[in-house]
Amino acid sequence: MSICQDSFGYRLPAEWEPHAATWLAWPHRRATWLGDFGPIPIFFAAFARLLADYEPVRIVASGAALVEAGNCLRSIAAKHAIELFDIPTNDAWLRDTGPVFLVPHKSASQLPAAVAWQWNAWGGKYPPWEADAQVAQRIAKLLGMQVFQQSVVLEGGAIETDGEGTLLVNHRCVQDPARNPGLSLEVLEQVICAQLGIERLLWVGGELAGDDTDGHIDQLARFVAPGRVVAARQPDRLDPNHDPLEANIELLRTLVDAKGRRLEVIPIEIPSRFAFDGVQLPASFLNFYIANGVVAVPVFCTAADESALRTLVDCFPDRVVVPVACHELIRGRGGLHCITRDQPALQTPAML
């Protein structure tokens, strides 16, 4: 087991802290998506355009996918801060495959750094994944950052922080024999906390039917401020998500963060039995993305959309809350947070 002591002095920032950019990976793996793949690149182009109104957007792709991205974005890239980078990928879920960026905790002279966790496509579910396993290092090196290489498998969507030393993690997608065989929860906690500058790791549970990540936290519970968490709730007792989500809410209400605050938990009801061709999908409003001045919220053209948006408007009074129709994107079993990777605002010499 390797714990990188060089990460001392760094911390994992909250998503609402200022960004230098948002990173995306251009979609090209048609087998990822149920139904018609045609609308997916169109969705990515429109979402990149939305984000570019608020902060620079950097997109990775290679080969035919890079050409397609350039063609789709040509009319808007010149007018907006959208850049393309030639980095090969297997899939488009950059939240999980991209670098986890760290910022200096105290010293202004320290440069930002990034952690490159191991990657095996959510426990070997979707081969091949060799290109995606290199994406984190390649992006970080492109930025001229110090890279902390880890031997533990940890996807970016599995972790959620308040930026003040507290981390939420669902144990189901970390202590997994298909990801980290033979490693105890205690050892995993030690590695994660040491590498990310975390003072208190809060293990939670919960799951969504159709979620092949085994319970990523960004579908279930998200910080909206230090000490405040929104959590997915399913009121429909016939929906298989009802019981695990209720249990997770009750667990969250017992937890205390790194500053000694008991978590304030705000439930958000998610769509009931949302499916495509009879396959239930993990449609969750919790998979929102916070960028500079904006919160992009996945909506699904359901009766639950309006209530979720009202709650998130209340949670983010200083940001514009923008609904983004994700009934196409969710056919890949992921949402807006799953396809994004936020880069903190502190720049390295390579990007100045």
Structure tokens, 72:
């789709």
Give every CB contact of residue 22 below 8 A, 6+ residues apart in sequence. 51, 55, 56, 57, 58, 289, 291, 340, 341, 342, 343
Q: Residue 178: what residue type?
A: A
> Would you state the torsion angle of the CA atoms of residues 322, 287, 318, 201, taken in this order, to the nearest 10 degrees?
-170
Residue 338: active-site member: yes
CA-CA distance, 184 to 350, in Å (whole number)?
Answer: 39
The answer to whether 285 and 299 have CB atoms below 8 angstroms apart is yes
> What backbone phi and psi angles, to 5 degrees, belong to 142?
-60, -35
Cα-based angle 48, 54, 58 (whole degrees, multiple of 5): 45
CA-CA distance, 98 to 136, in Å (whole number)?
Answer: 4
Q: Catalytic pick from 173, 315, 326, 338?
A: 338
Which positions are annotated as active-site residues?
A: 338
